[in-house]
Chain A
């Protein structure tokens, strides 16, 4: 096993999580885009249609859409159907509010991190930890198949939407 790749960023909500990456190049609106009862993506115009965010580390450029997404995220966190953590390229106030309200109500911390999301691919094992300065440390463990290719091939761009 090679050393994991580390990257830093800022927390919109601090916490620790780990899981398999689910990477989208297109932002997902939780309201009208995800079923809070199951975690399944229901947006017919989104490439992730039919996939499930529950327990994953959701990786996407930004949030999108109606402020009602705050409620849907909070409800999903309550039900245990939310992602284990979310990595965004740009901060998102709507998702931040949903995550903070869920922490306030249910003491469940779903970390929300703003960081570089390039070269992440669905299926990568991602750890979100808290550094000494209180900021996030995101560790990416490449699956063995990507490591064996890494020597002679550039890793796929982050915007691959399908699980390899």
Chain B
């Protein structure tokens, strides 16, 4: 266990840069030792998944860093919290839980983190570039950064993401290093698709997540996506059913312009064919109610809706014109919401039942009302987690079907 430290690392460890930096460095070194890293490397940004309140220890940790005068050393974004700070009253929570949960979000700001409160930091001005070394938490953000952007992060989580931000360092290990980014398992997609639907990308994600284990998946034959939101949905689904932190899509993602590049010249350990039936099976498992079931709400935007997704949704709302009886929740980042408001894009949309949600997500906290009916979503991740998290029944479908269903009050899906 010989971890090479720079003079700067050692100074931090020895407390010359404050007690908070010293604590963060000590924890980071213990982590680095236990994974066998040889040293640390500089990072240019961090994304912290620490704002959801899970117990006192999590809050105590951040408070201690604040008391020690700690500041993050690199631009640092924050994942969702338990509250929508933009729309007070949206989340219902007993006061005894609300006080520490709100404090947790605020304490992170006192460390110098940015008030992004989004699970899609890649949709903010803090989006990293190709090749940047970063330390990110939140599974969908990690897989997006690695796969779609070609930035480099491991799956960082509890405490360690923040220790990286407080020190500006990460262990030189895993996906930070080029040789560890090569594909290991090949998925050959054997699906005829004219206009590739959003659900095809979700289905591929669900499938590779389940089948990859800890091997990096390479997808051959994936239709060219309409936009990066389809890759976002694929990655989020893969990180839901599995531990995928990086996927390559041949001819599409930046480190996989060819099959050979995706595998860095090696042969795949295993090749698996994905058929239409595999996709249909994976998607069918997301729905717990059949067509025709009464609808209680629609939830979109897991991961947080991009501006482009809003631009697809708003015309659909005007066209299908659902009444306000069935709420259509759309989770999004506060920066995206501000932009939409400045553009006047949301004016009058509440008449269709639209309820924008910022800073949090409808499946991690108590937002949804009237749970006597199914909730419809176009998100594989939401459909997977919501039944366990908030006890709802779910119907998964394309966004168009979600909006049409809201107009008629029960689950309808187009024939496709």
Contacts and interface: CB of A to CB of B under 8 A. Distances in A.
B311 to A, nearest CB: 35
Interface string A50-84: 00000000000000001111111011011000000
B54 A93 contact: no
Contacts, number: 83
B4 interface: no
B27 A75 contact: no
A100 interface: yes
Nearest to A69: B158
Contacts of A98: 158-159
A78 B56 CA distance: 9
Contacts of A42: none
B160 A67 contact: yes
B56 A67 contact: no
B413 interface: no
Interface residues of B, number: 25
Q: Secondary structure at chain A's binding surface: helix, strand, loop or mixed?
A: helix
Interface in B18-56: 23, 26-27, 30-31, 33-36, 54-56
B34 A71 contact: no
B30 A68 contact: no
Contacts of A71: 54-55, 57-58, 158-159
Contact of A70 (B1, B64, B157): B157
A13 B64 contact: no
Given A71-B159, A77-B57, 16 more contacts: A12-B33, A13-B30, A67-B137, A67-B155, A67-B156, A69-B158, A70-B159, A71-B57, A78-B60, A91-B36, A93-B31, A97-B158, A100-B30, A101-B61, A105-B57, A105-B61
Identify the 8 closest CB pairs spanning chains A and B, nearest first. Answer: A67-B157, A70-B158, A74-B57, A75-B55, A91-B34, A75-B57, A96-B34, A93-B34
20 contacts: A67-B155, A67-B156, A68-B157, A69-B158, A70-B158, A71-B57, A71-B158, A71-B159, A74-B58, A75-B55, A91-B33, A92-B34, A93-B31, A93-B160, A96-B30, A97-B27, A97-B158, A98-B158, A100-B27, A104-B27
Interface of B: 1, 23, 26-27, 30-31, 33-36, 54-58, 60-61, 64, 137, 155-160
